[in-house]
Amino acid sequence: MSKELSHKEITDYFRSNIYEAISSYNAWKMLSYSKSNKVVSDDMAKRYLEIQNYHPGFFATAERAFLVDFVIMSLHPFDHRDDSYSLYKINKEDTEDFINNNESVVAALRNLRNKLFAHRDADINNTKNLIIPSVVNQNKYFENLIDFYNKLTSVVDESSTNFVNAKEIKLDIENLFMNLYRGEAIRKKQIDIEWLWEKDNKKASDIL
SS3 (DSSP) at 2? coil
Angle subtended by helix axes 7-33 and 135-156, to nearest 10: 160
Q: Are 138 and 22 in contact (CB under 8 A)?
A: no
Which residue from 142, 117, 112 is spatially nearest to 130, judged by alpha carbons? Answer: 112
Amino acid in the structure at residue 166: A
Q: List the chain domain ranges.
A: 7-207
pLDDT by residue (tens digit) across 17-29?
A: 999 999 999 999 9
Whole-structure pTM value? 0.90
pLDDT by residue (tens digit) across 56-86?
A: 999 999 999 999 999 999 999 999 888 899 9
| Residue 99 pLDDT class (50, 70, 90 cuts) | very high
Looking at residue 80, its pLDDT comes to: 85
Report the C-alpha gap between 157 and 58 in whole angstroms.
Answer: 42
Q: CA distances (Å), 107 to each of 74, 104, 184, in order?
A: 12, 5, 42
Burial letters for 111-138: b for 16+ Cβ neighbours within 10 Å, e otherwise?
bbbebbeeeeeeeeeeeeeeebbeeeeb
Q: Are 88 and 81 in contact (CB under 8 A)?
A: no
Report the C-alpha gap between 207 and 126 in whole angstroms.
Answer: 69
- Tell whether the model's pLDDT for residue 2 goes beyond 60: no
Looking at residue 125, its pLDDT comes to: 67
pLDDT by residue (tens digit) across 162-204?
A: 999 999 999 999 999 999 999 999 999 999 989 989 998 888 8
Q: Average pLDDT, stretch 140-145?
A: 97
- Tell whether the model's pLDDT for residue 1 goes beyond 90: no
pLDDT by residue (tens digit) across 102-126?
A: 999 999 999 999 988 888 777 766 6
Looking at residue 113, its pLDDT comes to: 93
| Residue 128 pLDDT class (50, 70, 90 cuts) | low
